[in-house]
Structure 1
Amino acid sequence: MATVTRENIGLLNDKITIKVAGADYLPSFEKALKNYSKQANIPGFRKGMVPTGMIKKMHGQSVFADEVIRTVEKELGNYMQNEKLEIFAQPLPLATDEAPKLDMNNPTEYVFDFEVGLKPSFDVADLAKEKMTRHKVTVTEEMINDEVNRLQVRHGKLVDRDAVSEDDNVLNVTFTETDANGNEIEGGIKKDNSFLVKYFAEAVRSTLTGKKKDDVFNIQLNKAFDEKEREWVLSDLGLDKHDEAAAAKFFNVTITKVGLVEKAELNEESFKTIYPKKEIKTEAEFRNEIKEEIQSYWDKQTKNHLQHEIYHVLVDHTKIEFPESFLKRWMQTGGEQPKSQEEVEHEFPTFANQLKWTLITDKLVQENNIEVKNEDIEAFAKQQLFGYMGMNLQDEEQPWIAEYITRMMKDRKFVEDAYHRIQTEKVFDLVETKVNATEKPVTVEEFSKEAEKHQHHHH
């Protein structure tokens, strides 16, 4: 009869010793040999008629070793299940001075040692004691005006103009690479583009008034555009936006068309085009819709920020002890690729933080009966699809949508990923209710600075 003993060898680190005698593994060894002889294909013998003795001579030792190991693993598994051991990863075989020499001709008692890392018991940090701020971005008239203007331009109509007269003129142009004297470089870059006059730097902009179709002017990129626009132009020309030599290149710019976007009027027809699903009749209603959209966007950003803070409070203030030496050994040998001691030491702090967060999440899920149901995953798949397609969740249900969701529910990777994301979201929704956060109205600039400061602090 196999015997299993356990002793403590370190912090949350136990050794499990398993002794197996012949009576434990010999019956399964004999059975395995018989099965082998029924399956074996050996020239000169009909299938299933190979003598067991011959199989034993040819393959006995490897079958014997397999059965001893299998018996040991079964005993280990049963013991851990009966004892309800909560462990990290898998048990690791412990190297001993006398490794068991498995010999089918001398079946005897074999001893195997394993070490396990035990999961710690701990209390999750009390969020109610933490001082936190729930920021609320104030949506200003200026923000609404900017968005109204952007939508009017986006849904406006491009009309031809004879000459450049204002910063909002649209120029269709051809860039042709030249030397510093404006001579075209053979085999140089040639590219069509289109942008507003106001994208040029102030110095160039003032020289463009009155320019017409077919007019040509020469520019040096780093002088013609300010940083943000320059990066965009360089990328469009196929150049590295961080390359100073590329930014110093010269180009002839040939105007192929001068236009102006006539902004969409603020009337019921435009409102219907911009918000087809809403019944918007007046400019006041239109502006209110825009305000709600902007507020909703910033509410999401501030919520993410608060959750980011909560995450750090939970990880930094929840005290959890780990079986460090076991985990480091496991990192070294338990993965797909063995790691060096230096690699393990370098990676361990990040690994321990991830492990800590997993333990905290698991505890919160268990204690609060957080469930992720099939319908949650189906709703997530639908939401993702509608996001990609730019559709609204109020849109009509089409048969192909149901087919898409059915297909995604059979994709194991998608389901696992969705499950994890939904569970994390539910955990955050729960912990947010435990936070005593003071609401603080802020401007976009104030909130952006706060968010940046927080990122730098934690990275």
Structure 2
Amino acid sequence: MNITQEKINDLNAIIKVSIAPEDYTEKVDKTIKDQAKKATIPGFRKGMVPAAHIKKMYGRSILVEEINKMLSDALNNYLSENKVEILGQPLPKMDDTKEFKWDFTDAFEFEYEIGLAPAVEVNISDADQFKAYQVKADEETLASRIKNIRKSYGKMTNPEVSAEEDVLYAELAELSADGSVFEGGINHTGSIRLDQVTDEAVKSTLIGLKKDDVLQLDLQKAFNNNENIIAKLLDITEEAAKEMKSTFQVTVKNVNRLEEADLNQEFFDKIFGEGVVTDEAGFTAKITEEIEGMFKQDADRKLQNDMYTKLTDEVKMELPDEFLRKWLKATNEKLTDEELNEGYEDFAKNLKWTLIENKIIKDNNIEIKYDEVFATAKERLAAQFRMYSPAPMPDDQLTQYTTTFLQEKDNANRIFEEVKALKVFNHIKSVATINEEEIAYNKFIEMN
């Protein structure tokens, strides 16, 4: 077997693989003999099928399979042994002038196009400046979070008259164009959450209602055409909800209100553990710490995005664009030319960042260890659970969740890439100049 590389330019090359009969004959013969021992064919005892019979029946397909295996192994070994850094995967170069007989005497020659990774130089110093925001909880955000927590531990009551954030338990009957109840139409009892009603004029008609009150309601207007909310309310499909144009007669069956939990010791102990918080000031401080911890992740993401943008803009490199476009089309059969043109710029930018990342990791001997991947996954899961309750999950239970989570290959790869990116960003922070600035959360949101 002979493998050669012909460079077209700094970013493109052709790899030629030549395979002579002596390269494949022994492997093909062995495969034929192995199949003969296993084959079950009428007229022959199992294990006694002549190899010549197998060759006659399946020889060509066996030869094709063996050649494909040899090609794959040869390409991978060649690229690895010669340290050829490529982008994408090799693409077979089609040549309609070549025709193989596949008769066990052929000498094969295959050509593959490859896109070569460009040389990358990444120079970061203290002259590179970035801003790191310390995001603080503003009064409105803090009050909203406290209210949500108190409600999640609160109790349900049934006031006589509905208010802005109540839930109306009501019968909804579809109406005909003349305003009468549509016979055979939708008739369903469900819960109308007033906090989901986006139209203020409609919401005003739902405030001040009592049990047995009746009114007409345009659901599409009330919920701003949100088919998900309408589908759940009427117990229909989202597709049907999207097409729904009818007005509904609403008959109030009950008014439900979720009262906020009292700020007492029982409430504090239930959330944070016995005796951890003993007064309202301590409770507010804990919630502030919790949400500012979440804000820190947002601030870190902004800093990372600023680094990503600066380096991908400033680090100059050329990519084998024509090859990459061809490779994307070859590996994504449903990708249209329009989708390729629209998405290629983002793809190329992300690829540039990957090359920058790899260069930083290589130049600075950065290692990614499993315990770091595990710790990051555990931290991410803990943050998800905190969204539902401030009370921390027991460590042994969280560890088990993390172990199960990382057994999924996609999850493990995603967290690995996250740790890899974080290590690169931390390296950049250690070299560049980072200017810190405090900012209220509501102002920080306006920047994004």
Both structures adopt the same fold (TM-score exceeding 0.5): yes
Report matched runs for 1:323-342 at 5 Å.
323-333=320-330, 335=331, 337=333
Matched, 1:302 2:294: no
Matched, 1:352 2:348: yes
**Residues 92, 114 of structure 1: 8 Å contact kept:** yes
Task: Give the total of aligned pairs.
Answer: 441
Quote the RMSD (CA, aligned, Å).
4.6
> How far is the alpha carbon of 1:277 from its aligned partner?
6.0
Distance 2:83 2:317 in 1: 20
TM-score (norm 1): 0.74
Gaps of 5+ in 2: none
The residue type equivalent to 1:309 in the other structure is: D
Distance 1:113 1:207 in 2: 72
1:18 is matched with which residue?
Answer: 17
Distance 1:150 1:271 in 2: 15
Q: SS at the partner of 1:124?
A: coil
Distance 1:173 1:408 in 2: 39
> How far is the alpha carbon of 1:425 from its aligned partner?
3.6
> Residues 383 and 438 from structure 1, CA distance in 2 versus in 1: closer, same or farther, beyond 3 angstroms?
closer
Report matched runs for 1:43-442 at 5 Å.
43-64=42-63, 67=66, 70-71=69-70, 74-96=73-95, 98-99=97-98, 101-102=100-101, 104=103, 107=105, 109-124=107-122, 126=124, 128-141=126-139, 143-152=141-150, 155-157=153-155, 164=161, 170=166, 172-177=168-173, 184-186=181-183, 187-193=185-191, 201=200, 213-214=211-212, 216-221=213-218, 237-238=233-234, 249=247, 251-254=249-252, 256-257=254-255, 261=259, 264-276=261-273, 279-333=276-330, 335=331, 337=333, 344-380=340-376, 382-383=378-379, 386=382, 387-388=384-385, 390=388, 395-398=393-396, 404-442=401-439
Once the two structures are superposed, residues 173-223 of structure 1 have per-residue CA deviations (whole angstroms, 9 ceiling, x without a partner) of 5254467997555445443436679989579859966x7544x25355589
**Residues 198, 205 of structure 1: 8 Å contact kept:** no
**Residues 120, 359 of structure 2: 8 Å contact kept:** no
Q: SS at the partner of 2:276?
A: coil
> How far is the alpha carbon of 1:447 from its aligned partner?
2.0
Does 344-353 or 113-122 show the bigger shift? 344-353
Once the two structures are superposed, residues 372-429 of structure 1 have per-residue CA deviations (whole angstroms, 9 ceiling, x without a partner) of 433344445544655348577954455x666555544544343333333333343334
> Residues 152 and 78 from structure 1, CA distance in 2 versus in 1: closer, same or farther, beyond 3 angstroms?
closer
Once the two structures are superposed, residues 415-451 of structure 1 have per-residue CA deviations (whole angstroms, 9 ceiling, x without a partner) of 3333333333433344344443433333444322210
The structure with the largest alpha-carbon Rg is: 1
**Residues 168, 197 of structure 1: 8 Å contact kept:** yes
> How far is the alpha carbon of 1:122 from its aligned partner?
0.5
> Residues 433 and 229 from structure 1, CA distance in 2 versus in 1: closer, same or farther, beyond 3 angstroms?
farther
Gaps of 5+ in 1: 452-459
TM-score (norm 2): 0.75
**Residues 213, 258 of structure 1: 8 Å contact kept:** no
The residue type equivalent to 2:100 in the other structure is: K
The residue type equivalent to 1:417 in the other structure is: R
Does 321-330 or 433-442 show the bigger shift? 433-442
**Residues 25, 68 of structure 1: 8 Å contact kept:** yes
The residue type equivalent to 1:358 in the other structure is: T
**Residues 191, 233 of structure 2: 8 Å contact kept:** no
Matched, 1:449 2:446: yes
The residue type equivalent to 2:306 in the other structure is: E
Once the two structures are superposed, residues 224-278 of structure 1 have per-residue CA deviations (whole angstroms, 9 ceiling, x without a partner) of 96x789999756644989x9997883644436358794x5444433332343366
Q: SS at the partner of 2:98?
A: coil
> Residues 376 and 202 from structure 1, CA distance in 2 versus in 1: closer, same or farther, beyond 3 angstroms?
same
> How far is the alpha carbon of 1:92 from its aligned partner?
2.6
**Residues 220, 226 of structure 2: 8 Å contact kept:** no
**Residues 168, 256 of structure 2: 8 Å contact kept:** yes
**Residues 158, 254 of structure 2: 8 Å contact kept:** no
Distance 2:304 2:45 in 1: 69
Q: SS at the partner of 1:10?
A: coil
> Residues 373 and 46 from structure 1, CA distance in 2 versus in 1: closer, same or farther, beyond 3 angstroms?
same
**Residues 271, 391 of structure 2: 8 Å contact kept:** no
Distance 2:62 2:108 in 1: 16
The residue type equivalent to 1:249 in the other structure is: T
> Residues 72 and 277 from structure 1, CA distance in 2 versus in 1: closer, same or farther, beyond 3 angstroms?
same
The residue type equivalent to 1:356 in the other structure is: K
> How far is the alpha carbon of 1:91 from its aligned partner?
2.5
The residue type equivalent to 1:426 in the other structure is: K
> Residues 58 and 142 from structure 1, CA distance in 2 versus in 1: closer, same or farther, beyond 3 angstroms?
closer
1:454 is matched with which residue?
Answer: none
The percent of aligned pairs where both chains have the same amino acid is 26
Distance 1:104 1:13 in 2: 34
**Residues 90, 115 of structure 2: 8 Å contact kept:** yes
The residue type equivalent to 1:4 in the other structure is: I
> Residues 185 and 394 from structure 1, CA distance in 2 versus in 1: closer, same or farther, beyond 3 angstroms?
closer
Distance 2:419 2:279 in 1: 39
Distance 1:259 1:341 in 2: 54
